[in-house]
Amino acid sequence: MENGILAAMARGGFERVLALHDRRSGVRGYMAIHDTSVGPALGGVRRWVYRSDEEALRDCMRLARAMTLKCCLGGVDAGGVKTVLLDHPEVDWEAAYEYLGRVIEGLGGVVSCGPDVGTGERELAWIARETHHVTRPGARGPGRLSAATAEGVFRGMQAALEHLDGEADWPRRHVVIQGLGAVGRVLAERLLGAGVRGAGTELDPERAGAAEELGVELLDPTRELGEECDVFAPCALGGILHDLSIPRLRARIIAGSANNPLARGGHADALHERGVLYVPDFVISAGALMRGAHFHLERRRKPLGHIGERIGATVQGVLERAAAEGSSPQRLAVHEAERLLEERRADPLPAEPLAPS
């Protein structure tokens, strides 16, 4: 069973992986709980079409582990989890999300879930009918999570530009955003506000239209990688940077909100060797997690400015250290997050809730 799921769990340090199937709604999926050593596991629910169960499981596990790394470098006392639901036309989605709510409720607070690709406010409200362990939309929740991610990405980009050129000098910059969804659109607004020449690509025609109204130049998606620009911002799905796409890139910096845009870890080194500055994805995209976790653990909203500042400073630190050591920033950041994770695991929370003193 070298390549089986149990071996993969042991290699990646996972605590639990649940296979999900609900007879009533017809939904199927997985939940990977990566780490709960210092607090609940937090992470989004992704609804997506996968080619096979194996592909869905692999994606689920990779995304869950990335959430733990986000917590470690984001200074968040929580761990990572991810849920993926297989998109299918015959699923009754309202019932499916209610079912997921009951699964989460049954875990007794070990897991709390939030938004991700395919799961927005409407879906979270369906989950919230069955459990409190979910980021609530509207006034009763942590507020605009995608704005928190966008702010972190903006400040992380700024740190990267300052690292290379000594200044951000926004009005002189050209930024290409891949994906103008929940985060990409807010990021575009922020960049345009700073005076940037912003371009983007979007496959969904409705979203593309909305972005054009904002003043974002729409590019043909086949041209996005080859576009000469200061920053390429992946804000859609993972796995887009690989052996075929990397040689076509003409950006100096890669900095965006997508989880796991590198097809494999080694691609960070390939970018580094080509002289492209890759800002570690799990560092720059932690804004929503930081805001959601703060609300979940402390019942208060963390101001977007604080989140942006913290992410900007962390990116700056990672880039400086990586440059000093001659390593790729991603490699350095993963190493540092794994060291922090080991520290957490050496001093875990007791399994039973702490007794009131």
Backbone angles phi and psi of 113, in degrees to 5? -115, 160
- Annotated catalytic residue within 65, 82, 163, 291: 82
The residue from 114, 141, 280, 312 that contacts ligand PHE (CB under 6 A) is: 114
Q: How many residues sit in the footprint of ligand PHE (CB under 6 A)?
A: 12
Query: Does residue 280 bind ligand PHE (CB under 6 A)?
Result: no
The residue from 39, 115, 179, 234 that contacts ligand PHE (CB under 6 A) is: 115
The C-alpha atoms of residue 254 and residue 179 are separated, in whole angstroms, by 14
The residue from 241, 249, 271, 288 that contacts ligand PHE (CB under 6 A) is: 288
The answer to whether residues 85 and 45 touch, using CB atoms and an 8 Å cutoff, is yes
The C-alpha atoms of residue 205 and residue 198 are separated, in whole angstroms, by 18
Active site residue 82: yes
Helix (H) or strand (E) holding 206: helix 205-214
Is residue 43 classed as helix, strand or coil in its secondary structure? strand
- Give the interface segment with ligand PHE, choosing from 12-20, 216-224, 247-255, 288-296 (CB under 6 A): 288-296
Q: Give the tokens for residue 61.
A: 């596990």
The C-alpha atoms of residue 232 and residue 242 are separated, in whole angstroms, by 15
Site for ligand PHE in 182-221 (CB under 6 A): none
The C-alpha atoms of residue 303 and residue 322 are separated, in whole angstroms, by 29
- Give the interface segment with ligand PHE, choosing from 179-187, 216-224, 243-251, 286-294 (CB under 6 A): 286-294
Q: Which residue has the tokens 């509207």?
A: 138
The residue from 35, 98, 116, 230 that contacts ligand PHE (CB under 6 A) is: 116
- Give the interface segment with ligand PHE, choosing from 40-48, 152-160, 301-309, 323-331 (CB under 6 A): 40-48
The residue from 29, 44, 179, 308 that contacts ligand PHE (CB under 6 A) is: 44
Query: Does residue 314 bind ligand PHE (CB under 6 A)?
Result: no
Nearer to ligand PHE, 118 or 226 (CB): 118
The C-alpha atoms of residue 278 and residue 240 are separated, in whole angstroms, by 13
The C-alpha atoms of residue 189 and residue 211 are separated, in whole angstroms, by 9
Report which residue type is found at 205.
Answer: P
Binding site for ligand PHE (CB under 6 A): 42-44, 114-116, 135, 145, 259, 288-289, 292
The set of catalytic residues is 82
